[in-house]
Amino acid sequence: MKTLLTLFLHSFLCISICLAQSNCNSALELTPGIQQCGNSNGNTGDFPSDGSSPVNPCNDDYNDDEYWFTYTPGNGVDQLQVTLSSISTFFTGIFIFDDCPADSPSCIVHNVNLASTSNIAVAFPVMTGTTYKIAVATFGPPDGTSFCLDAVETLCFEPVVSVPAFPVDATNCPSTVDYTISIDDLEDSGFLTISAEDAMGNPAGSGGVTNSTGLFTITDIPVPQSAWSITVAHENNSSCDIVLGPFELECPPVNDNLCDAIELSVNANFIVGNNEFSTAESSEPFGFCWSNGGNLNSVWYYFTAPNSCAVEISTDYPNTPLHDTHIAVFTVGNCSDLTTLVEIGCDEDSGDSAPNGNTSVVTLYELVGGNDYYIQIDGKQNNTGAFNLSVKEINPPNDDCSDAKELMSFEGTGSFLNDEYFVNATSSAYGMEACDNNSTPSPNDLWYVIYSQLGPTTVNVEPGPNSDVVVGIYGNCFPQLFMACSDDGGIGVTETVVFNVDDAGATFIRIYEKSASCEPFNITATLPALPIELDRFKAVAERKGNQVLWSTLSETNSEYIEVQSSPDGLSKWNMIGSVDTKGESSSTQEYEFFDFDPFKVTYYRLNMVDKDGSSQLSHSIQAKRNDEPGSLILFPNPVGNVLTVQISHSTSASGTYNIIDISGRQIKKGIVHLHDGLNTLNINVASFETGLYFLRLPSDNGFKIQKFIKQ
């Protein structure tokens, strides 16, 4: 849309103390094309806050704290667009009237922002010689807001044109292509003239004239094109013409062949690739895991392996146009001789971000630092288009004690993990272990955790053939609670640590290499049998809370089982529920309990109570949640009687929730107490009228607002 006035000469900020435009009769003159800023805080206004006459005809809740402008359009102005930005307060509105409040004005147009402080705008046709009154106001405390206002006058309306996805399904490179655009709205034009030009300004394809909405195709665009553009010319006013593009089409892609592979930087941001119009080389291989091998639209990249020996290659990015990719990775002897390729990695459909989960991720270990590796990207089932691609070093999730990887959540008397790697591990503050025979001052360590009841425990760590490891055992992360360590073996020799658990709960295992080998290691733990005969005990983080599951092998004289939780596994154990047992049983019995209010990391244990009142504690387990702080879920929605609200919070806090109807009026409020983790709140809405409502709830960054429908 072209503007009559496009000069933004300067902007100024003027707070209410110097421009106290708190009533309509002293309104500030609106100047289109120049940003005007103000603050309505402390203004009295013309619409009384007690709801008495006169009331705001657009929304009677936005009273008392107005900041006023006046505007009279000149000759030839068809429309005014007003945008409010830099808003400091929720529930801010902009209101356009045809007179001052004392003269019973009509509401011309208005817009309010219920959920955030993002920009709001209104646009309306104007009549020459008519004076309009413009108010900026807020609803409810805190009264007043600071803001900046931009007004734009327009003479014409642009046609509305959109560009659909590129329509050519090209397995081979054509000499010309057709390009289709969508004419969504002619606006005030009788017809549009559509043409295309190449990068030099010469005609590129056959256009034409249209006087209707719908699809319009420009035909016979020569290929390739480094940049071509489409001009949509307006019949009545050339200032309303629009230009689409420039568009680029490499045909075939520059990295269509292996020898022309594009270099990727490890750990850089993702690059955007495209396999449109790509072709298969003679004898070009395809990934062994690909379901449609042989139908290739592939392009090539390469990277130099880092000294950490491991990378993740990924097309797993949200909203990537070509979501159905597959990846193969090769070593290459000679790029001109495709028989020298040796495949070392392959993936199809392991990604999570695409609508159907069909992006790809390849993880590679034991690479040779400094060597080049080649990546083949293809579209599954002949799909072509743009994709995102990155190569990044792997960061171990258990690099710190606080993020220890679970080795055992008691599922019997033993547990193991195979093919663990020290890749990109960093040094913790623990330093070298006292038993370290070769004095490794700043070792790069990894951490594991097991959960055990009282008794002897054995941990074995089997290194690679060229690796020498040290193992330390700790009863706590911070402060350090050292228990045992081992550095008895040498290169390639298994380290064994036997220690006694004196306090049921978490035990942490620290492992590091004396010198980097890029080789994997295995770790096992052996625990004594549980005296309370638990067969299974685990907790699973689900969308609406944590599911606690356990089973017993036998029960004698039992009455019920308490479920206890703690945020740290050391103190603050609270009973969160109980489950009646079968009483007497010599067969496996299954139990479950759902925790709707878990912490970000929740420790659980069971207290088995007999009929005579005696009890016995189990070992503890933990469940970690990955909820994004501030994430808010309402269900059911639409709701009948009781609305369940779940919000994730990063700290403990208290606050007030509000329920507001579509007009901005408060319908209900209450107090909430939030803890670190997932919080569940049940609100009775049975008495609400049918309609749309907004829930305003405190969160980490102020407030979260989400709508729901009352049936």
SS3 letters for 194-211?
Answer: EEEECCCCCECCECEEEC
**Three-state secondary-structure class, residue 130:** coil
Answer for the pair 54, 102: CB distance below 8 angstroms, yes or no.
Answer: yes
**pLDDT reading at 471 higher than 80:** yes
> Which range is most confident: 131-145, 202-216, 297-311, 435-449?
297-311
In order, the DSSP letters of 230-272 are: EEEEESS-GGG-EEEEEEEE-SS-TTSSGGGPEE--TTSPPEE
Q: What is the share, in percent, of the chain residues with pLDDT greater than 90?
A: 42
Q: What is the mean pLDDT of residues 63-71?
A: 87
**Three-state secondary-structure class, residue 668:** strand
**pLDDT reading at 318 higher than 90:** no
Closest CA relative to residue 258, chosen from 346, 341, 382 = 341
Reported as a pLDDT band with limits 50, 70 and 90, residue 445 is very high
Q: What is the mean pLDDT of residues 366-388?
A: 90
- Spatial strand order of the sheet with 311-314 comes to 271-274, 386-393, 311-314, 361-364
Query: What is the pLDDT, as a whole number, of residue 6?
Result: 28
Length of the chain: 711
Half-sphere exposure of 329 (CA within 13 A, CB side): 23
Query: What is the pLDDT, as a whole number, of residue 437?
Result: 84
**Residue type, position 360, single letter:** S
Reported as a pLDDT band with limits 50, 70 and 90, residue 17 is very low
**pLDDT reading at 610 higher than 90:** no
Q: Over the chain, what is the mean pLDDT?
A: 85
Q: Who contacts 412 (Cβ-Cβ below 8 Å, separation ≥6)?
A: none
* Per-residue tokens: 15: 């707070």
Q: What is the mean pLDDT of residues 629-636?
A: 86
**pLDDT reading at 616 higher than 80:** no
Peptide bond into 32 cis (omega under 30): no
The residue with greater pLDDT, 641 or 503, is 641
Q: Are strands 35-39 and 28-29 parallel, antiparallel or unpaired?
A: unpaired
**pLDDT reading at 269 higher than 60:** yes
Reported as a pLDDT band with limits 50, 70 and 90, residue 631 is confident
**pLDDT reading at 384 higher than 90:** no
Query: What is the pLDDT, as a whole number, of residue 627?
Result: 84
Reported as a pLDDT band with limits 50, 70 and 90, residue 374 is very high
Q: What is the pLDDT of residues 341-351, one digit of tens each?
A: 999 999 988 88
Q: Dihedral, CA atoms, 551, 556, 557, 563, nearest 10 degrees? A: -20
Separation of alpha carbons 364 and 366, rounded Å = 7
**pLDDT reading at 680 higher than 50:** yes
Reported as a pLDDT band with limits 50, 70 and 90, residue 456 is confident
Q: What is the mean pLDDT of residues 151-177?
A: 69
**pLDDT reading at 514 higher than 50:** yes
Q: What is the mean pLDDT of residues 507-512?
A: 94
**pLDDT reading at 412 higher than 50:** no
Reported as a pLDDT band with limits 50, 70 and 90, residue 323 is confident
Q: Who contacts 17 (Cβ-Cβ below 8 Å, separation ≥6)?
A: none
Separation of alpha carbons 694 and 692, rounded Å = 7
**pLDDT reading at 522 higher than 70:** yes
Q: What is the pLDDT of residues 165-194, one digit of tens each?
A: 554 444 456 778 888 888 888 877 788 999
Query: What is the pLDDT, as a whole number, of residue 503?
Result: 61
Sheet strands (E) in 332-480: 342-348, 361-364, 372-379, 386-393, 405-408, 414-420, 445-452, 455-462, 469-474
**pLDDT reading at 2 higher than 60:** no
pTM over 0.85: no
**pLDDT reading at 527 higher than 70:** no
Query: What is the pLDDT, as a whole number, of residue 354?
Result: 61
**pLDDT reading at 459 higher than 70:** yes
**pLDDT reading at 115 higher than 80:** no
Q: Distances from the Cα of 700 to the Cαs of 77, 563, 632, 690, 706, in angstroms? A: 46, 29, 12, 31, 15
Q: What is the pLDDT of residues 549-608, one digit of tens each?
A: 999 888 888 889 999 999 887 768 899 999 998 888 888 889 999 999 999 899 998 888
Residue with tokens 């990015």: 317
Reported as a pLDDT band with limits 50, 70 and 90, residue 455 is low
Q: What is the mean pLDDT of residues 396-419?
A: 79
Q: Dihedral, CA atoms, 176, 181, 187, 189, nearest 10 degrees? A: 10
Separation of alpha carbons 168 and 5, rounded Å = 41
Q: What is the share, in percent, of the chain residues with pLDDT greater than 70?
A: 90
3-state helix, strand, coil in the chain (%, to 5): 5, 45, 50
Residue with tokens 């496009």: 6
